[in-house]
Amino acid sequence: MLHARVGHELFPPQNRVEVIAIASEKTASHDCHATRWSLDDLARELVNRHAAEAMTRSTIWRVLNEVDLKPHHSVYWLNSHDPHFQKIAEQICRLYVRAPKFQRHGDLLICTDEKCGMQILEREHPTQLARPGHPEKREHNYIRHGTRTLMASLVVATGEVIWDLGQTRTNVDFANHVKHVLAHVNAYDATIWVLDNLNIHWSLELCEVIAAATGRPYHPRALRTGQQRRAFLTDIDYPHFFVYTPRHGSWLNQVELWFSVLARRFLKRGEFASAAEFERRFTEYLADYNANHAHPYRWTYTGQPLVRDTPFSQTRRQQVRGRAWFGTSRQRFERYMHSPRPYRRRSKPALAGNL
């Protein structure tokens, strides 16, 4: 028995819902041994069920595309079970908002963390530079000249980075870094530090450094446990104190934003013939960054849950598709209200002479 082909606009709504439901479920519940859904797997599961309704592979793709559902895509996320996550996140976000005001009144907000295991790599053969029609080509094999550990402190109000480069990450290393930062910003009356919960961030050596900087009495016997040391370092009655991010909430630390810039701009495609060359070029990069590129980051997270409240029909992809009739470039009123940044403005080509 032959069935007439059904147009996509006449496809039964209950079957469209079924496509979305199955694509949002685990494969094991539908006797599929793959760990994720692919378009072929969905088609195999659904075409046999709805052959009479013309449930084709292209129909399944169209249904998923209209609701912006991509079961073959996956991204990482970090779930925090800290019962005080919301309270601490809102506190840190308020500090970020007030950072410029703190600086005007002689206080500094500083975000500190470490980047460990930065590999010093040299390619076995020279890299072929990019040329028209050909991308840059790098040798897959490499020679490893060791690793380095970076301890960095980002001044939130200015974007300046204060750093120390070494081979280890110990309690003494971090305490010396804090001492270095305090000496660098000694013109300010107080500092507020945002850190994660790594054990070197509440060590006995760090308590000694903070006690010396604030003139507080230092009694090692009263700081034997981690809870006692954290209480000592988070005491807001003294000019230098620490604020710790919630568990699995280290992404609230703004220095992580700068680490991503460092990885893209310096580490990812860097080639270094020795550890000494790596340290020299790293020093030059940081000096140039602080002199010409340091800037405060625009922090958009406010401490509230990140919930997508934009209808699928109004997403950026749908907007571009919807205005394809008259072009995908920004409209005139958008260009007037939000002018492009200076480095994105296109200069008019000069007229060639003597043609």
| Domain match, 159 and 50 both | no
**How high is the pLDDT of residue 256?**
95
| Domain match, 202 and 112 both | yes
| Domain match, 152 and 43 both | no
**How high is the pLDDT of residue 243?**
97
Q: Is residue 108 part of a domain?
A: yes
| Domain match, 97 and 153 both | yes
Q: Is residue 308 part of a domain?
A: no
Q: Which of 66, 93, 116 is the last residue of a domain?
A: 66
| Domain match, 61 and 14 both | yes
Q: Is residue 73 part of a domain?
A: no
| Domain match, 104 and 242 both | yes
| Domain match, 62 and 24 both | yes
Q: Which of 243, 272, 293 is the last residue of a domain?
A: 293
**How high is the pLDDT of residue 1?**
42
CATH code where residue 259 lies: 3.30.420.10
Q: Which domain holds residue 20?
A: 8-66
Q: Is residue 305 part of a domain?
A: no
| Domain match, 60 and 101 both | no
Q: How many domains does the chain have?
A: 2
Q: Is residue 312 part of a domain?
A: no
Q: Is residue 267 part of a domain?
A: yes
| Domain match, 39 and 98 both | no
Q: Is residue 200 part of a domain?
A: yes
Q: Which of 263, 293, 323 is the last residue of a domain?
A: 293
| Domain match, 258 and 285 both | yes
Reduce the secondary structure of the chain to three states and give it as a string: CCCCCCCHHHCCHHHHHHHHHHHCCCHHHHCCCCCCCCHHHHHHHHHCCCHHHCCCHHHHHHHHHHCCCCCCCCCCCCCCCCCCHHHHHHHHHHHHHHHHHHHHCCEEEEEEEEEEEEEEEEECCCCECCECCECCECCCCEEEEEEEEEEEEEECCCCCEEEEEECCCCHHHHHHHHHHHHHHCCCCCEEEEEECCCHHHHCHHHHHHHHHHHCCCCCHHHHCCHHHHHHHHCCCCCCEEEEECCCCCHHHCCHHHHHHHHHHHHHCCCCCCCHHHHHHHHHHHHHHHHHHHCCCCCCCCCCCCCCCCCCHHHCHHHHHHHCHHHCCCCCHHHHHHCCCCHHHCCCCCCCCCCC
Q: Is residue 258 part of a domain?
A: yes
| Domain match, 39 and 119 both | no
Per-residue pLDDT for the chain (355 aa), expressed as one digit of tens each?
A: 444 444 445 567 777 888 888 899 998 888 888 888 988 888 888 776 765 555 678 888 888 888 888 888 888 777 778 888 889 999 999 999 999 999 999 999 999 999 999 999 999 999 999 999 999 999 889 999 999 999 999 999 999 999 999 999 999 999 999 999 999 999 999 999 999 999 999 999 999 999 999 989 999 999 999 999 999 999 999 999 999 999 888 899 999 999 999 999 999 999 999 999 999 999 999 999 999 999 999 888 877 655 445 454 555 554 554 443 344 455 555 556 555 555 545 555 554 444 4
**How high is the pLDDT of residue 112?**
98
Please give the Cα distance from 206 to 180 (Å, whole number).
12
| Domain match, 147 and 216 both | yes
